Amino acid sequence: MTESYTGACQCGRVRYHFNADGAQAYLCHCRKCQRATGGFAAALVTVPGGVVWESQPAWYQSSPIARRPFCPDCGTPLGFAYDDGASESAVDVSYGSLDEPERFAPTAHFGTESIHECWIDTSALPRQRSDATQSVTRRWAAAGLEVPE
Ligand SMILES: [Zn+2]
Ligand SMILES: [Zn+2]
């Protein structure tokens, strides 16, 4: 049976699903992806079979060869697509927008001409949970809520 995956923007306005056949996760380090996501790299999942948008994203033409879907309400970057992709729906979705991102592990680095090496292996850095950080828990408590996962 084919596994299906789902995802959404932060506010939930834009939702999508896709068939996992051949889907692979990777990091793109190109400057376009750094700008588009605000991160040191873009974590993306290539979806060869294409994505079904349950509600339509907005699109930004980020270069003469590619465009990027995003939520017009909350601004979540939802991925990347070449203008001449294999199909109209062919897209790489943003890893963090998946409902269960932990189901994918990265398989490659791309755009390595702009890689920030010091961000690749951060496993030795100190770690702190949000729910163990008083300045965070106090603010959530003032909002009458628990710290979300
Ligand atoms: Zn949204
Ligand atoms: Zn890129």
Question: Does residue 1 carry a pLDDT above 60?
Answer: no
Residue 135's contacts (CB-CB under 8 Å, 6 or more residues apart) are none
- Nearest ligand to the CA of 9 is 1
Question: Does residue 20 carry a pLDDT above 90?
Answer: no
CATH number of 4-117: 2.170.150.70
CA dist 82 and 31 (Å) reads 16
- Nearest ligand to the CA of 55 is 1
CA of 4 to the centre of ligand 2 (A): 25
Residue 58 amino acid letter:
A
pTM: 0.91
Q: Could you report the per-residue pLDDT of 27-78, keeping only the tens digit for each?
A: 999 999 999 999 999 999 999 889 999 999 999 999 999 999 999 999 999 9
- Nearest ligand to the CA of 112 is 2
Q: List, as own/partner pairs, every contact residues 114-122 make where C-beta atoms lie below 8 angstroms and the sequence separation is at least 24, other chains included.
A: 114/29, 114/30, 114/31, 114/34, 115/29, 115/41, 116/29, 116/40, 116/41, 119/40, 119/41
> Tokens in use for 132?
């163990």
Q: Could you report the per-residue pLDDT of 65-114, keeping only the tens digit for each?
A: 999 999 999 999 999 999 887 676 789 999 999 999 999 999 999 999 99
The residues whose Cβ lies within 5 A of ligand 2, an ion, are 28, 30, 33, 111
Q: Which residue ranges make up each domain of the chain?
A: 4-117
